[in-house]
């Protein structure tokens, strides 16, 4: 194991205050939404998420990736795509494409307790991969749903339970909730398909348009989340893998702009100070935060624990980073963005030049860049965390 345990002794005598803390012992529920941006949450009827938000630390500057697979790989491993080799989505039905390498250590392998996974995997195509990556039990789909060569939809999809394949005709959001509720694991990773494509109205809706379906799907998911939270006593981490799709939101597809990168990210539980936070947070920060909660070192994670921010203290992250490259396994061909408290740079794939923005607000600097702006660019370039595979 690459992580190193801190001084924890579970002997009957001399149990430390840290071990008695809920940070160490309380159950953890990680809920991942698909393609749900802050803008969509503000328009949708989601009383459960609204209530959760009121008792949560709400990170308004949390960055993810532009597409699903890199975001989920980063979340699961605590490592940037240039380390895992995942920079773009796995294409539906292409089961021979390279995915997350099995030697990458996931949160299920790093945490000292049972972790179960439910819902959308979407980082590799091997039917036993979730189990091989440390999850005690897994139940869901390997890839995203949609009208592809596997002919999956929310009402008819390939379900994999611990590697065993079957055909499921129950609405995916409810089936995943049912499975998660049946789990005794102290840590549950629940990755919903909703509101990812195909946009299909849930059982209680007659919506037809893309916007109507997505709002109905999110409302239905919110009801299922109420079931999931009803008897949960512990920590809840709720976030989205990506922002709202362009067709139903204000996202500018294919660019490393804030509309694409900033995602809902909230945490509730014992000792968490609720309220809006402007601390920079990244999806790679989830795993080191969980490890610090459990009294473990972050090992080779790229992320930075935001546990101090949950306690109401200043956050530790001083820069934020995201990237995109294709094909997977070739991070040298990347577009990327990096920001600090005052500025952001963006380098587009296949396009000459560097774009500079003043932050917050993402106000583009006039081109050609002034000498002062060029100095800012050079300062930020030196902070690029990139390393070749």
258 plus 350 within the same structural domain: no
- For the chain, the average pLDDT equals 90
What range does the domain containing 344 cover? 324-381
pLDDT in tens, 247-273: 664 444 458 999 899 999 999 999 999
245 plus 181 within the same structural domain: yes
pLDDT at residue 141 tops 50? yes
pLDDT of residue 94: 58
Q: Which of 318, 336, 356 is the last residue of a domain?
A: 318
**Is 3 contained in some domain?**
no
Number of structural domains in the chain = 2
pLDDT of residue 1: 41
pLDDT of residue 127: 87
Question: Stretch 180-189: mean pLDDT, rounded?
Answer: 98
Q: Which of 318, 342, 368 is the last residue of a domain?
A: 318
**Is 7 contained in some domain?**
no
- Sequence-distant (6+) residues with CB within 8 A of 146 are 92, 152, 153, 196, 197, 198
Question: Stretch 283-300: mean pLDDT, rounded?
Answer: 97
Q: Name the more confident of 247 and 135.
A: 135
Kindly give the interhelix angle for 210-229 and 172-181, rounded to the nearest 10 degrees: 10
pLDDT at residue 375 tops 80? yes
Question: Stretch 5-21: mean pLDDT, rounded?
Answer: 47
Report percent pLDDT > 90 for the chain. Answer: 78
**Is 388 contained in some domain?**
no
297 plus 333 within the same structural domain: no
Please report, for the domain that includes residue 248, its CATH number. Answer: 3.40.720.10
pLDDT in tens, 18-35: 557 889 999 999 999 999
160 plus 37 within the same structural domain: yes
CB 346 within 8 A of CB 332: no
284 plus 329 within the same structural domain: no
pLDDT of residue 148: 52
Question: Stretch 356-376: mean pLDDT, rounded?
Answer: 93
277 plus 131 within the same structural domain: yes
Q: Which of 318, 342, 358 is the last residue of a domain?
A: 318
335 plus 244 within the same structural domain: no
pLDDT of residue 107: 98
**Is 115 contained in some domain?**
yes
Question: Stretch 192-207: mean pLDDT, rounded?
Answer: 93
302 plus 332 within the same structural domain: no
368 plus 296 within the same structural domain: no
181 Rama sector, left if φ>0, alpha if ψ -120 to 50, beta otherwise:
alpha
pLDDT in tens, 60-96: 999 999 999 999 999 999 999 999 999 998 875 555 6
């Amino acid at each position: 194991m690459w992580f190193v345990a801190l001084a924890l002794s579970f002997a009957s005598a001399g149990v430390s205050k840290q071990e008695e803390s809920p940070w160490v012992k309380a159950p953890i529920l990680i809920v991942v939404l698909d393609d749900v941006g802050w803008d969509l949450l503000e328009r949708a009827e989601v009383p459960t998420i609204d209530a959760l938000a009121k008792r949560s630390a709400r990170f308004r500057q949390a960055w993810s990736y532009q597409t699903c697979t890199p975001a989920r790989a980063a979340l699961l491993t605590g490592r940037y795509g240039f380390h895992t080799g995942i920079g773009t989505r796995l294409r539906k039905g292409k089961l021979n494409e390279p995915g997350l390498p099995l030697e990458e250590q996931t949160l299920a392998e790093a945490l000292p307790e049972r972790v179960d996974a439910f819902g959308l995997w979407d980082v590799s195509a091997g039917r036993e991969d979730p189990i091989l990556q440390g999850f005690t039990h897994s139940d869901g789909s390997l890839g995203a749903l949609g009208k592809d060569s596997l002919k999956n939809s929310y009402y008819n999809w390939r379900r994999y339970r611990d590697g065993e394949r079957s055909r499921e005709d129950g609405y995916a959001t409810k089936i995943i909730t049912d499975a998660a509720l049946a789990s005794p694991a102290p840590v549950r990773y629940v990755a919903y398909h909703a509101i990812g494509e195909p946009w299909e109205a849930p059982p209680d809706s007659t919506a037809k348009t893309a916007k109507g379906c997505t709002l109905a799907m999110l409302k239905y998911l919110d009801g299922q989340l109420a079931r999931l939270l009803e008897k949960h006593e512990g920590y809840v981490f709720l976030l989205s893998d990506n922002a709202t799709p362009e067709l139903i939101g204000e996202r500018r597809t294919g660019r490393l702009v804030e509309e694409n990168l900033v995602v809902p990210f909230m945490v509730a539980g014992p000792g968490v100070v609720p309220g809006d936070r402007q601390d920079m947070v990244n999806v790679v920060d989830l795993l080191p935060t969980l490890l610090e909660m459990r009294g473990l070192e972050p090992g080779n994670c790229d992320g930075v624990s935001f546990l101090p921010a949950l306690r109401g203290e200043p956050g530790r992250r001083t820069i934020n980073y995201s990237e995109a490259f294709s094909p997977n396994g070739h991070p040298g061909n990347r577009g990327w963005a990096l920001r600090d408290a005052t500025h952001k740079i963006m380098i587009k794939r296949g396009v000459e030049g560097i774009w500079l923005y003043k932050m917050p607000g993402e106000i583009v600097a006039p081109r050609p860049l002034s000498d002062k702006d060029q100095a800012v660019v050079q300062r930020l370039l030196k902070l690029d965390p990139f390393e070749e595979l």
